[in-house]
Amino acid sequence: MIQIRPLFARATLAAALVVGTVSAAEAETIFHRGNGSEPETLDPGLSTGVPEHHIQMDVFEGLVAPGPDSEPIPGVAESWEIGDDGLTYVFHLRENAKWSDGSPVTAEDFVYAWRRLVNPETAADYAYFLWPVRNGKAISEGNAEPEELGVEARDEKTFVVTLEAPAPYFIDMLTHHSTYPVPKAVVEEFGNEWTRPGNIVSNGAFRITEWVPQSHIKAVRNEHFHAADEVKLDAVVYYPTEDREAELRRFRAGELDYTYDVPAQQIPWIQQNMPDQFRNTPYLGTYFYAFNVTAEPFKDNPALRKALALAIDRDILTEKVTQGGEIPAYGWVPPGMEGYQQQQLEWASWTQEQRNEEAKKLFAEAGYGPDNPLTVEILYNTDDNHRKIAIAVAGMWKQVLGDVNATLRNEEWKVYLETRDQLQFQVVRAGWIGDYRDPYTFLSYLRSDIGEQNPSGYKNADYDRLNDESTVETDAEKRMAIMAEAERILLADLPIMPIYFYSQQHMVADHVKGWEPNIMDYHPSRFITVER
Amino acid sequence: MLQQDASAAHPNQPIPGGGAPVVKGRSLWADAWRRLFRNRAAVASMVILGLIVLVCVAGPWFVPYEVDEIFWDAFTAPPSEAHWFGTDANGRDLFIRVLYGGRISLMVGLVATLVSLVIGVTYGATAGYFGGRIDDVMMRVVDMLYSLPFMFFVILLMVFFGRNIVLIFVAIGAVEWLDMARIVRGQTLSLKRKEFIEAAHAGGVSAFNIIRRHIIPNTLGPVVVYMTLTVPKVILLESFLSFLGLGVQEPMTSWGVLISDGATNLEVASWMLIFPAVFLALTLFCLNFIGDGIRDALDPRDR
Amino acid sequence: MLSYAIRRLLGAIPTLFLIITIAFFMVRLAPGGPFDSERRLPAEIEANLRAKYNLDDPLVVQYLHYLGDVVRGDFGPSFKYKDFSVNDLIWQGFAISAQIGGLAIAGALILGLAFGTLAALRQNSAADYGVMAAAMTGITIPNFVMAPLLTLVLGIYLGLLPVGGWGQVRHMVLPVVALGLPQIAYVSRMTRASMIEVLRSNYIRTARAKGLPERITILRHAMRAAILPVVSYLGPAAAGIITGSVVIEQIFGIPGVGRHFVQGALNRDYTLVLGVVVFYGALIILFNLIVDLLYGMLDPRVRYD
């Protein structure tokens, strides 16, 4: 154990430094931000989680950036043109786009970052984000060289992308962290330590100066950022706040200005005691239960699936159990998709009594009753909310249908995912959050042919075909109609049972200004001010 | 561990003299009983604990609710006539849940302690009786196991292989037997030089029977003391696992699960913490007092 | 004594080997993998990841690799926190856990010895009953109940102390108190019992009889003998502190080793979990050795052969 001594010294030094800076910094405008879990990595090419994305949105900037309301605004690219075939994108980068060390951000930086993302050696989870780009998929499968990726630096400030097929949602995708540029020289010099304070060079509104894992990350204003004079904060500190109760306590004690989340059971208390600081906005996601349609009892049994879907009272679930202003869901694609006609189950407008009647009828038709009770197990991952919903759903089935013996099984996240992937369940709790603001991010989730996701084992050739058609249709209106048709097929088959559309809760302190609610839940710190 | 020999040489063990330990032992035990019953704290504890056990075991038969029954119009309701302890965040009656939780917690405490008792006593008595190389090797193994960060292994077990109540028994029992083995071994070492053991040995009684008939019964005193102190430890351990979200599976519950639920609802629904916490604390109090009482009773020096 | 210490350390090698082996296979045979996530990875990408972390080799080969790395003092890269090595995380975390744990133990010793002695000297007085009742309460209230109560009252209602985070001295107060309370209770109970016994022994009676001041009798003579069971309790106490810190670090958001361990286990961060288990195994061995040596120094009857 030879390495022990120097490392120990470094750790204590880091702790000492932290003590010094925190107390010296009181005079500055600092935004203390609860940020969910500890980031896995700050490398935009390698990270996968939402907490990382929030930091990277502040610290890096892609071709397109999310505005205060999450609508894409020009980022490093000040303008772009799309070819008539929908395949060629030409991005013109701003002259004053700079890295935090003062060097310019060039088209070459994007070429490097994108090739790196799809390079199998990088082993990036999000490599598939660039599969719409020419040769993207082939490269990450090892069938082509990274140099063959359809990207090109036409000159220092012109970046050209060629797609495999038209992808109308491509610009929206560019706010995603996997497409951000990375500083080639720094990455090559420091390897996987390039994101550490002291090493990291970035091109966003803030730059990282401290990182103590499981404690905090501090980023200060980047003077080289092209809009640095519009950034009002001197620094942002991100805290890992996995324990929502603890996060709320820290907010109440004034240690946090903003929370990542709010514990559901505290919402009534908060609404009574600190309603002004409570924010609750719809979020682009659907919470649902998936039936395993590859096995008994749900295989080829749409009547049973429908009976169970009918028998749960979504109003009670959202009002009494989750209590967070969630919207009861009777469709798959959440509201808030521009130009998309939201689809609904035909019984969405019925009363719960009508639904219960129909549910009983279908349940009996499916052959269940006192002589043949239904035994069903609900799988969920360990979490207070999921647990409460599962308890309530099991209770509702038992109450409405009578002869249901519902048991619960909770598994810890990673085990749950494996069980789910192997279809070793009957009913599973799941949720899906859109990657970008287009129905396709939801519809493609339940395709049978892309070998990923799709928790229920659902397979319908028509559904897959309509999905394919939607990716090549360039007429926006027709495309939306195709996707609506796909959703109707899905809702008729009912391999999944929608429960509610997410809403996202935050505590935002009174002195925080410039925070705008939006469906993507993007809140870049560059638009936020703290007026104490 | 060097101090072990010191405690093994404890002067005041139940030391039966001749070949009929049962007769001699009875007077000693009777003596201990008498002292125990003069200890007011211990007697009060036994009464309270008895009541708690009775209520948890028999109570659910008299409560008209199911443990997983949801009252749709009473979510997080404070104590009332219908729900003596109020309801939880899922609208379930807390009284019945505290009773069911008590069954589980008490059972975990009892079964895990028994597991550790069986392993520890057998292991310790064997090592101590055979002595020499066998003892050396067996105690080396115990020393090695002592250095394992056991709690971490228990957490890993729970995280990786799911929340299975049997697994909780086994895992906790496996952690707790080490102390038991050491105590019993120390006792055995001092016992086996006694005449009645040697007499049995000379009389041709097999090693297995000597351990079973003569050694183990004579180590019971300290073992009983240790047991009463292990049960509360195990109950606490289970509640600790529950706090980390690794406890028993819904809709079943335990005091640990109820308390960790209640702790998060402290300000909104204090009854969700108070009732299970009072039951748990009372039980632990009683067990500790009883343990102390038995120890003092077996150890006549007045403490 | 030195040779005894060296022999004990050499004897720890098979124990460490056992720890590594059990932990390695337990972690690997567990269901769930480090690359499972909500957005399931395309097969090609998962293959790339597995290749990068040598997960494609047979398990035995991986095991031997790992043993070799550990012998060199290298716990490898963290699977989950990709910008850090396990060594970085453990040492950063340990610097913090050791502060909290060390303070909690030190506080428990000082206060526990003081309360215990006080109770013993005034046996069966109100002070005695008070201390013992408080100690019993300390033992029976789990620290995951105590910690939120403390934060609520001292942190939020009274606003005296921060309720989470790490960096300044005031951040340490609540976690140290929550962690140390049960230990204070155990130590004072133990001290009381052994002190009462010691006070009845002949040499104390002699010391008193020859007119030695009570203070010197207690502090110099009685304490030295009465402290012995407390010293041997320090081994289990350290283990208890380590376990307790898992909960405390979680509640207070402290970046210590316990937190890394729980996160690592949940995330299937193989290398991080293994690293923490092996590190703490080594630490417990070392601590037990120190306790035994200390015991020998205090108790003249013990000889190292």
C206-246 pLDDT, tens per residue?
Answer: 888 888 888 888 887 888 888 888 887 887 777 778 777 88
Q: What is the pLDDT of residue B21?
A: 45
Each residue's pLDDT tens digit, A17-36: 344 444 444 468 999 999 98
Q: What is the pLDDT of residue B130?
A: 85
Report the DSSP beta bridge partners of residue A258.
A33, A508
Query: Is A274 domain-assigned?
Result: no
For residue A66, the domain's CATH number is 3.90.76.10
For residue A359, the domain's CATH number is 3.10.105.10
Q: What is the pLDDT of residue B252?
A: 84
How is residue B36 written in tokens?
Answer: 């125990």
Mean predicted confidence (pLDDT) in C39-67: 76
Number of domains in chain C: 1
Q: For residue C157, list chain A residues with Cβ-Cβ distance below 8 A.
A: none
Each residue's pLDDT tens digit, C119-159: 888 888 888 888 888 888 888 788 888 888 888 888 888 88
Clarify whether residues A299 and A247 are in a common domain: no
Mean predicted confidence (pLDDT) in A473-497: 92
Query: Is A278 domain-assigned?
Result: no
pLDDT at position A258 over 80: yes
Query: Is C276 domain-assigned?
Result: no
Mean predicted confidence (pLDDT) in C36-47: 66
Q: What is the pLDDT of residue A410?
A: 82
Clarify whether residues A500 and A524 are in a common domain: no
Inter-chain CB proximity B232 and C140 less than 8 Å = yes
Number of domains in chain A: 2
Q: Which residue has tokens 């630096």?
A: A153
Inter-chain CB proximity B162 and A415 less than 8 Å = yes
CB-based contact, A351 to chain C, within 8 Å? no
Q: What is the pLDDT of residue A303?
A: 92
Clarify whether residues A94 and A175 are in a common domain: yes
Q: For residue B160, list chain C residues with Cβ-Cβ distance below 8 A.
A: 26-27, 29-32, 265
Clarify whether residues A499 and A524 are in a common domain: no
Each residue's pLDDT tens digit, A102-136: 999 999 999 999 999 999 888 787 888 888 899 98
pLDDT at position A325 over 80: yes
Query: Is A4 domain-assigned?
Result: no
Query: Is A2 domain-assigned?
Result: no
Q: What is the pLDDT of residue B301?
A: 52
- Chains sharing 3 or more CB pairs under 8 A with chain B: A, C
Percentage of the residues of chain C whose pLDDT score is greater than 90 = 5
Clarify whether residues A119 and A212 are in a common domain: yes
- Nearest by CB: B249 against A266, A321, A410: A410
Rounded Cα gap, residues A210 and A408, in angstroms: 43
- Chains sharing 3 or more CB pairs under 8 A with chain A: B, C
Q: What is the pLDDT of residue C302?
A: 63
Clarify whether residues A334 and A468 are in a common domain: yes
Other CB atoms within 10 Å distance of the CB of residue A156: 13
Q: What is the pLDDT of residue B162?
A: 65
Give the pLDDT band of residue C284 (cuts 50, 70, 90): confident
Calculate ∠ Cα A408-A413-A289, nearest 5°.
50
pLDDT at position A451 over 60: no
Q: In chain C, positions 214-233, which contact chain A (CB-CB < 8 Å)? A: none
Q: For residue B281, list chain C residues with Cβ-Cβ distance below 8 A.
A: 137, 140-141
Q: What is the pLDDT of residue A530?
A: 92
Query: Is A108 domain-assigned?
Result: yes
Range of the domain at A91: 9-255+508-530
Clarify whether residues A188 and A78 are in a common domain: yes
Range of the domain at C232: 90-267
Q: What is the pLDDT of residue B176?
A: 81
Rounded Cα gap, residues A38 and C263, in angstroms: 9
SS3 B247: coil
CA of C61 to nearest chain B CA: how many angstroms apart? Answer: 23
CA of C70 to nearest chain B CA: how many angstroms apart? Answer: 17
pTM, two decimals, is: 0.80
Range of weakest confidence among A507-521, B289-303, C284-298: B289-303
Query: Is A395 domain-assigned?
Result: yes
CB-based contact, C302 to chain A, within 8 Å? no
Query: Is C167 domain-assigned?
Result: yes
Q: What is the pLDDT of residue A16?
A: 38
For residue C229, the domain's CATH number is 1.10.3720.10
Q: For residue A245, list chain B residues with Cβ-Cβ distance below 8 A.
A: 264
Clarify whether residues A63 and A86 are in a common domain: yes
Each residue's pLDDT tens digit, C150-185: 888 888 888 888 877 777 788 888 899 988 888 888
- Nearest by CB: C142 against B143, B155, B259: B259
Inter-chain CB proximity A391 and B249 less than 8 Å = no
pLDDT at position B4 over 80: no
Clarify whether residues A317 and A195 are in a common domain: no
Mean predicted confidence (pLDDT) in A460-478: 87
Q: What is the pLDDT of residue A510?
A: 94
Q: What is the pLDDT of residue C151?
A: 83
Q: What is the pLDDT of residue B295?
A: 77
Inter-chain CB proximity B280 and C140 less than 8 Å = yes
* Contact status, residue A259 vs residue A34, Cβ threshold 8 Å: yes
Q: How far is CA A263 from CA A8, A322, B266, in A?
A: 37, 10, 13
* Contact status, residue A3 vs residue A495, Cβ threshold 8 Å: no
CB-based contact, A15 to chain C, within 8 Å? yes
Query: Is A390 domain-assigned?
Result: yes
Q: What is the pLDDT of residue A11?
A: 38
What's A77's DSSP letter?
A: E
pLDDT at position A263 over 80: yes
Range of weakest confidence among A196-200, A469-473, C30-34, C93-97: C30-34
Clarify whether residues A247 and A330 are in a common domain: no
Q: For residue B148, list chain C residues with Cβ-Cβ distance below 8 A.
A: 15, 18-19, 22, 281, 284
Query: Is A164 domain-assigned?
Result: yes
Inter-chain CB proximity C37 and A142 less than 8 Å = no
Query: Is C204 domain-assigned?
Result: yes
Mean predicted confidence (pLDDT) in B78-91: 88
Give the pLDDT band of residue B12 (cuts 50, 70, 90): very low
Mean predicted confidence (pLDDT) in C246-257: 83
Give the pLDDT band of residue A158 (cuts 50, 70, 90): very high
Asked whether the CA dihedral A477, A479, A483, A489 is positive or negative, the reply is positive
Each residue's pLDDT tens digit, A181-207: 999 999 999 988 899 999 999 999 999
Q: What is the ipTM of this complex?
A: 0.75
Query: Is C112 domain-assigned?
Result: yes
Q: What is the pLDDT of residue B14?
A: 42
Clarify whether residues A413 and A433 are in a common domain: yes
Calculate ∠ Cα A235-A238-A239, nearest 5°.
140
Inter-chain CB proximity B72 and A320 less than 8 Å = yes
Across chain A, mean pLDDT equals 87
Report the DSSP beta bridge partners of residue A160.
A90, A152
Which of C137, C181, C243 has the most B C-beta neighbours within 10 Å, making it the best mutation to test the interface with B? C243
Clarify whether residues A54 and A160 are in a common domain: yes
